[in-house]
Amino acid sequence: MSSPVQWSREGAIAVVRIDNPPVNALGQSVRAGLLAAFNAAEQDPQVKLVLLYCAGRTFIAGADIREFGKPAQAPILPDVTRSLESFNKPSLAVLHGSVLGGGLEVALACHYRIIQHTAKVGLPEVKLGLLPGAGGTQRLPRLVGVAQALEMIVGAEPISAVEAKRSGIVDELYDGEPLAAGLAYAAQLLAQGVQPRRSGQARVPAAVGTSNAELLMAKRAEVQRGQPGLFSPLRCIAAIEAATTLPLIDGLQRERALFLECLESPQRAALIYKFFAERQAAKAVDLDASVTVGNRLVEEGVSVAQVDAALREFGMAMGPFAMLDMPGLKLDAVVREPSLAVQVESDPQRLWQRPIYALINEGARILEEGIALRASDIDVISLTGYGFPAHRGGPMFLADQIGLPAVLQQIREFHQKHGEHWKPAPLLERLVAEGKTFAEQDQQG
């Protein structure tokens, strides 16, 4: 099987071509092929510049999703980008399509960059509970400054080609085919006698009207206020901070340590699960159990504010009563019956368990009745339609993480204490008896 990375020589220009459809993802064969091609070009005395471009509809669009959750295979991407940046001959990355994640990190490791007018660039790793781990947190701030690096890495939103040019990520915009545009620009660079220009050797520019330290502090406060409990955004900020205080080699080591922390986080597992669940979601199902149980909690004497606060602490942007118009809730009945407040659970964890475990129990019933095809479908609708926190993965994923025996035991306690509406779902009982999880149930179809 031939490598997805090939190279040829056009005069003094080594043309390195990646062809790994559909999106030229950075699988192991691409990473190894990049190193081999650049090393071969470096050894060729006739080569004066290396041009990197991709076939198909896009430049490298990120990691290979087939490698998610598997042990890393050498060469790992941080080693590849370090090698590309230290290459002794000037290199040019010709960008088009969606230049995302590791694709942008590879481009930043090249010495010069041009981009097609219609392209976009971005570092969306935080959406998967990670941070850019191949130099993105160290090289990008050196090019664009802390403020924009925070927006792109913590905010995770891509920017246009025009904005990439304005901010200094790329050198020029182009129209037409990547190879033709790349060869024309490479000829200009050779005529100018350019040398390697390494992003990692630049200094992070000073902030305008404030300081980089103040920008970092403000972003931390914003994340802690708006995304409490999220793990990777704060690690992204810490990595960007390292770029402002450490030389590149030390900053890369700090980035790697923070990346590995994210990799081990349960939130990363939940967000990766969400990514795949959304890709295969079949149909929406109706889940109103959290609001129903929220009503029951209030009728038992827990305040609306307590229920909403407990679920916000759990990670929801807002509790069920803040999100909905409280259909059918008889608040006046609570006022008239102060005795309902006797022996009410007030511990925040116990409060969030009631609505969330109700979702789990109801989800198991929906699965058994065939209303939903997979547990992951229930998780997707909970995440996208009911405000379930993404870093928790969804109620069924969370149940597997907690352990179905522990979930069933708690539901049985609620059943004994709070009545028949807490009767455990037969599927949940059967899975516990068989020692299986919802994920294993999904795999069996």
Neighbours of 145 (CB within 10 A): 20
Q: Of 85, 125, 241, 255, which one is the catalytic site residue?
A: 125
Going 236 to 356 to 331 to 323, the CA torsion angle's sign is positive
Query: What is the enclosing helix (H) or strand (E) of 17?
Result: strand 13-18
User: What gap in Å lies between CA 398 and CA 440, rounded to an integer?
Assistant: 14
What 3-state class would DSSP assign to 264?
coil
HEC string of 79-146 equals HHHHHHHHCCCCEEEEECCEEECHHHHHHHHCCEEEEECCCEEECCHHHHCCCCCCCHHHHHHHHHCH
- What pairs with residue 92 in β-bridges? 51, 112
Question: Residue 52: phi, psi to the nearest 5?
Answer: -110, 125
Neighbours of 61 (CB within 10 A): 21
Closest-CA residue to 111 (of 140, 127, 95, 91): 91
105 is catalytic: yes
Query: What is the enclosing helix (H) or strand (E) of 159?
Result: strand 159-160
User: What gap in Å lies between CA 180 and CA 85, rounded to an integer?
Assistant: 24
Closest-CA residue to 12 (of 188, 171, 144, 174): 188
What 3-state class would DSSP assign to 3?
coil
Are 49 and 190 within 8 A, CB to CB?
yes
What 3-state class would DSSP assign to 59?
coil
Neighbours of 174 (CB within 10 A): 21
At 417, which amino acid appears? K
The label of the residue with tokens 């198991």 reads 364
Q: Of 105, 241, 255, 362, which one is the catalytic site residue?
A: 105
300 is catalytic: no
C-alpha separations of 261 from 144, 248, 255, 407 in Å: 26, 20, 10, 28
User: What gap in Å lies between CA 122 and CA 100, rounded to an integer?
Assistant: 5
The pair of three-digit structure tokens given for residue 421, joined into one six-digit string = 């509406």
Question: Residue 173: phi, psi to the nearest 5?
Answer: -100, 150
- For the chain, the farthest-separated pair of C-alpha atoms sits apart, in whole angstroms, at 90
Please identify every residue annotated as catalytic.
Answer: 105, 125
